[in-house]
Amino acid sequence: MIASPQPHLSPEDYLQLEEHSPVKHEYIDGQIYAMVGATDAHVTIALNLATALRNHVRGSGCRVYISDMKARIESLNRYYYPDILVTCDPRDQATALEKRFPRLIVEVLSDSTEAFDRGDKFADYQTLNSLQEYVLLNSKRQRVECFRRNEAGLWVLQSYTDQQETFRLESIDFEATLTALYEDVGFE
């Protein structure tokens, strides 16, 4: 994410600007931040998972969105573009440009975004009552980190590495192999 020198924008001004902008921006309390391009590994991992998730939720009422759909955190005045978002809430069908009730959010980690994805962005996402699972996918090695909200409202981490064959996303009752997730990904 790259800061763009702009005056303070209202959410309405941001949405109007974003609709016509050739560059995507995330919005944090009146400020916009340009999104940077992604690596081959990043895009391949996100596409592999999004394809599998779409096939899994077909006919269930859930919808899978990729990086062009905004997640809105109204209580904090934020708009983010997660790599993958899954919503099963019918209220999200009424909004074409944003989703407010995600069940699952996935971010593919990169050098420029990892600290933010693990820190402030995760803290912001935790304020979404609908969110059951936040997943971080490593793009340098086979590693999946699933943060799940438990019955007490605490976020519990379960990690999967190349030591395990499969990983599980409990929020949508999904299981896949790490081999399929990382298919066609070349690690440095």
pLDDT along the chain (188 residues), means of 10: 64 89 90 88 97 98 96 96 98 96 97 93 98 97 97 97 95 98 90
Domain count, the chain: 2
Report the CATH number that the domain containing residue 66 is assigned in CATH.
3.90.1570.10
Instruction: Say if residues 182 and 176 touch (Cβ distance below 8 Å).
Output: no
pTM, 2 dp: 0.92
**Assigned domain for 136 exists:** yes
Q: Tell me which residue range forms the domain holding 4.
A: 1-36
Task: Indicate the DSSP class of residue 29.
Answer: T
Rg (CA), the chain: 16
